[in-house]
């Protein structure tokens, strides 16, 4: 899907996904983000036959919710991973796909939805580049049809359930519990990191990159010395498959930042948190800012924008990594990122911070 078109039809998709809200309003509940998602989920499930519905709507439990990755379709058997939950877009009708995307749109901000669809489109570009070179015996596939949507548990305005949407370089995990919508853990990535469509250059994670380089270059010598890690980091430390693990904070404390530097860090974090719907993202950003004095910013790699660099943000309720992939230190065309709340992934907050 052209990302410009995706932006233009966002409102129409969102309207489609909220057709059932009038019934919720009659029941006495406000049409908040969770109510919109419930209506959109029920509308999507209603388009499916029994076999499709069984695939698209597995139960929510400790095993099913962790079935997500950044791997391309077809590689699961080779690495011993489970197939993603849900039903892929290539297996549904256009009307069912519209309902699926309406569900996704109901929980995301407009910018967040556009970012997600730009990642999907990047994978379509990759398929068009790699498909002709792929061995006939290969089961690996890229492209927009290889993205899966799943509803874990029963859509509810009060009880916990989840929405998963993902494929190669994308794993959106949204936990809904009452009026709370939570995005952690979520993986965003891109390959290619930049492509041209309809005369426009599209960089799905371009703002994340540019804001991070601006921040590291705004630090004074002492701050930068603290920020730069002693070892070279080339991959995500807490990426897919590391649920429940933690690491010690490293880097420069945000408590040493000037007001401008702190504001720049907040805006960098917002690139991930802001994928979520506006109200939920605003609440999460307030939570993160309340812990800013206990947040660190770490860096590895080049300091010149356009060259490869890894960075990490680690706070009481936020953990973000950005990692260009590949053996070449300067690689910038293949990006992995992770966003977590190590105290509350999947809405499982159990300890007082």
Among 236, 266, 237, CA closest to 334: 236
Residue 316: the pLDDT is 97
Q: ∠ CA 182-297-114 to the nearest 5 degrees?
A: 45
- Residue 90, classified by CB atoms within 10 Å of its CB into exposed (0-12), middle (13-18) or buried (19+), is middle
Among 95, 86, 113, 92, CA closest to 14: 113
Q: Which two tokens stand for residue 4?
A: 């410009």
Q: How far apart are the first and last CA of the chain?
A: 42
User: pLDDT digit string (tens) for 212-258?
Assistant: 999 999 999 999 999 999 998 989 999 999 999 999 999 999 999 99
Q: Prior bond to 185 cis, omega within 30? A: yes
Residue 329: the pLDDT is 54
In this prediction, residues 307-318 reach a mean pLDDT of: 96
Contact of 200 with 4, CB cutoff 8 Å: yes
Rounded Cα gap, residues 311 and 50, in angstroms = 45
Domain segments of the chain as ranges: 3-197, 205-347
Point out the least confidently predicted range of 65-79, 123-137, 143-157. Answer: 65-79
Exposure letters 330-341 (e unless 16+ CB within 10 A, then b): eebebbbbbbbb
Residue 2: the pLDDT is 54
Instruction: Report residue 259: phi and psi, to 5°.
Output: -60, -40
Residue 78: the pLDDT is 62
Residue 12: the pLDDT is 45
Q: Which two tokens stand for residue 223?
A: 């701050």
Q: Is the pLDDT of residue 180 over 50?
A: yes
User: pLDDT digit string (tens) for 63-106?
Assistant: 999 999 999 988 865 665 678 999 999 999 999 999 999 999 99
Higher pLDDT, 327 or 139: 139
Residue 77: the pLDDT is 58
Higher pLDDT, 291 or 350: 291
Please compute Rg for the chain using Cα positions: 20
Position 133 confidence tier, pLDDT thresholds 50, 70, 90:
confident
Among 269, 280, 277, CA closest to 313: 269
**36 sits in which H/E element:** helix 33-46
Q: Is the pLDDT of residue 23 over 80?
A: no
Report CA dihedral (228, 234, 235, 236) to the nearest 10 degrees.
Answer: 0
* Mean model confidence pLDDT for the chain: 89
Residue 152: the pLDDT is 98
Exposure letters 3-36 (e unless 16+ CB within 10 A, then b): bbebeebbeebbebbbebbeebeeeebeebbbbb
Rounded Cα gap, residues 129 and 125, in angstroms = 6
Query: What is the biggest distance separating any 2 CA atoms in the chain, rounded to whole angstroms?
Result: 62
Residue 181, helix vs strand vs coil:
strand
In this prediction, residues 278-292 reach a mean pLDDT of: 97
Among 4, 222, 223, 208, CA closest to 114: 4
Q: ∠ CA 229-233-234 to the nearest 5 degrees?
A: 160
In DSSP terms, 85 is beta-bridged to none
In this prediction, residues 40-64 reach a mean pLDDT of: 97
Residue 331: the pLDDT is 74
């Amino acid at each position: 899907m052209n990302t410009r078109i995706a932006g233009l039809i966002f409102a129409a998709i969102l309207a489609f996904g909220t057709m059932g809200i009038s019934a919720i309003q009659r029941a006495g509940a406000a049409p908040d983000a969770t109510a919109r998602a419930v209506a959109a989920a029920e509308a999507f499930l209603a388009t499916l036959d029994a076999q499709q519905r069984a695939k698209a709507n597995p139960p929510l439990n400790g095993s099913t919710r962790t079935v997500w990755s950044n791997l391309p379709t077809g590689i699961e058997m080779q690495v011993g991973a489970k197939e993603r939950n849900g039903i892929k877009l290539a297996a549904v009708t256009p009307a069912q796909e519209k309902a699926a995307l309406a569900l996704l749109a109901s929980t995301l901000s407009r910018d967040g939805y556009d970012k997600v669809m730009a990642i999907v489109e990047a994978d379509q570009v990759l398929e068009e580049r790699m498909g002709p070179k792929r061995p006939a015996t290969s089961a690996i596939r890229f492209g927009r049809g290889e993205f899966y949507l799943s509803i874990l548990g029963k859509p509810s305005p009060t009880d916990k359930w989840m929405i998963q949407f993902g494929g190669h370089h994308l794993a959106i995990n949204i936990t809904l519990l009452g009026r709370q919508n939570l995005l952690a853990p979520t993986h965003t990535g891109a390959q290619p990191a930049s492509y041209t469509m309809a005369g426009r250059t599209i960089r799905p994670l371009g703002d994340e990159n540019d804001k991070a380089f601006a921040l590291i270059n705004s630090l004074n010598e002492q701050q930068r010395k603290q920020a730069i890690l002693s070892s070279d980091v080339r991959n995500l430390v807490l990426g897919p498959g590391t649920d429940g693990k933690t690491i010690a904070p490293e880097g420069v404390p945000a408590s040493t930042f000037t007001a401008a530097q702190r504001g720049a860090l907040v805006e960098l974090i917002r690139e991930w948190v802001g994928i979520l719907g506006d109200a939920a993202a605003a609440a999460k950003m307030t939570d993160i800012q309340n812990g800013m004095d206990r947040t660190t910013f770490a860096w590895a790699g080049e300091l010149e924008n356009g060259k490869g660099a890894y960075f990490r943000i680690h706070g009481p309720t936020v953990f973000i990594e950005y990692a260009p992939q590949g053996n070449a230190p300067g690689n910038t065309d293949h990006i992995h990122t992770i966003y977590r709340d190590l105290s509350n992934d999947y809405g499982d907050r159990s300890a007082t911070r």
